[in-house]
Structure 1
Amino acid sequence: MTNLNQMELQNLRHLIGAHGTIANKLDDMAQQCQDPNISQMLKTDANDARQSKQKLMTFLQ
């Protein structure tokens, strides 16, 4: 694990949580969307947010 101070750890946890929330919201919007192109774009963005969350979580190991 990288040596993180308390502030960095707190910010990292905040970012990880935010990316998870964003992914869930984008999934919900994609399900409600009538336009298939926009729905696909939202799903892609949700997956990107999940990937970013996973990358950020590597700093906790």
Structure 2
Amino acid sequence: MEGYFTIGDFLMIIPMALAGALFLGAVPCATEFKHNTLRVIGALIGAMCAVVLVETLPALM
């Protein structure tokens, strides 16, 4: 591990979080609260996947 995040690493986290929010936000729900909760969970999952991807890429090279 190199140490700290760079601005290039954060440029990948934002689109991944947005993709997760859009993906889970498309699930049909009965209430608006569940819909917003799924969007937040999707954004968190997308951001976590991006962090894992950013951290493992240097190890693969």
TM-score, normalised by the number of residues in structure 2: 0.50
Q: Between the two structures, name the one with larger relative contact order (CA 8 Å, sep ≥ 6).
A: 1
Bigger proportion of residues as helix: 1
Task: Give the structure-1-normalised TM-score.
Answer: 0.50
